[in-house]
Amino acid sequence: MNGVLARFTKKNSREITTAVALVLVILIFSLLNSRYMEYDNLIDIIQQGTVNGFLAMGITVAIITAGIDLSVGSTMAVVLVACAMLSASNFNPVLTIIIGIVIGAFIGVVNGFIITKMKLQPFIATLGMMEMLRGVAYVICGGKTVLGVSDSFRQLFQTEVFRGIRLSMVYMFLLAIIYGIILTKTRIGVYIYAIGSNEEATKLSGINVDKYKTIAYAMCGIGAAMAGLVTMARLGTGEPSAGVSYETMAIAAAAIGGTSLAGGKGSMSGTVLGAFTLSALRIGLIVIGMDTFYQYIAIGLIILVATYIENLQVIVVKLFKKIFHKKVEK
């Protein structure tokens, strides 16, 4: 039993660390302000973390391949505006969702093509796509907010399942489970991790690296599309400026959850916990009345510390090994 627990702890050490950090954030803010632990506020933390969770899950898959996708916020905006226009014209809500997901996946495939076939670095490729897609979002709607999203569409995301838990939150957990299964239980996942760990060795093994990289970016696009659809249902409008700088928070959630920015390491459970930790932090700072300017500083510091945790863990392990060896020698 102890051996099983030890293996589980070792395998999921970063996820456990993130979960502990989330609990600590909640406890600290609860001590600072008792209103923080109110049920409605805790539900708000989950709700606020949903959009970032969708984006972060997608970007995690891209980062595992040792890449990045800076265009997720703009992809979200394109899907949001295009689907808002469909919904406002009383288009079938289920088909609207399917079209939105297809648009997101297609944009991901385009990103994958630019990176794999045009041989551009992921940072540059997705940076260019980020600007292009933002322009596309404004062109689609003529720079105006799209109004009149149908109630039937909104109900597919905003319907309350249980005491504040909405369908959009359920969808996020379902996508996390689906992506988690793909990454851990399928050949696609094995190859995605292999590409991030050592792309050259993966190529020499006869694996079609370009194909699986493109699949990873398509998965990233689907996550961004879901974020756009959730935002559209929540607001009831299509805003072309939606998602600006959201990629930063998505990358932060992935990093906090244990995804290595060098590639080859990451999990859906860790990323979801990372998204909720950021959400808990932001809402906590609001509850205690901290000015917005200081909130940016605090969140920035948290991101830096979180991304450095992996290095700290390596240092601590080495330190303990040295101490242990010295005791053995004595």
Render the burial of 216-239: b for 16+ CB within 10 Å, e for the rest. Answer: bbbbbbbbbbbbbbbbbbbebbbb
What confidence score (pLDDT) does residue 209 get? 96
DSSP 201-234: HHHHTT--HHHHHHHHHHHHHHHHHHHHHHHHHH
Cα end-to-end span (Å), the chain = 32
For residues 75 and 136, the answer to whether their CB atoms sit within 8 Å is: no
Q: Which fold has domain 45-319?
A: ABC transporter involved in vitamin B12 uptake, BtuC (1.10.3470)
What's the maximum distance between 2 C-alpha atoms anywhere in the chain? Answer: 79
What confidence score (pLDDT) does residue 311 get? 66
Q: What does each of the 330 residues of the chain score in pLDDT, given as a tens digit? A: 555 555 656 566 677 888 888 888 889 999 988 888 888 888 988 888 999 999 999 999 999 999 999 999 999 999 999 999 999 999 999 999 999 999 999 999 999 999 999 999 999 999 999 999 999 999 999 989 999 999 999 999 999 988 888 999 999 999 999 999 999 999 999 999 999 999 999 999 999 999 999 999 999 999 999 999 999 999 999 999 999 989 989 998 998 888 988 889 999 999 999 999 999 988 988 888 887 777 778 777 877 776 676 666 666 556 656 665 555 555
- Assign residue 293 a region (left: φ > 0; alpha: ψ between -120 and 50; beta: otherwise): alpha
Domain ranges of the chain: 45-319
What confidence score (pLDDT) does residue 254 get? 92
What confidence score (pLDDT) does residue 308 get? 73
What confidence score (pLDDT) does residue 99 get? 97
- List, in order, residues 6 or more apart from 169 with CB less than 8 Å away: 46, 47, 50, 161
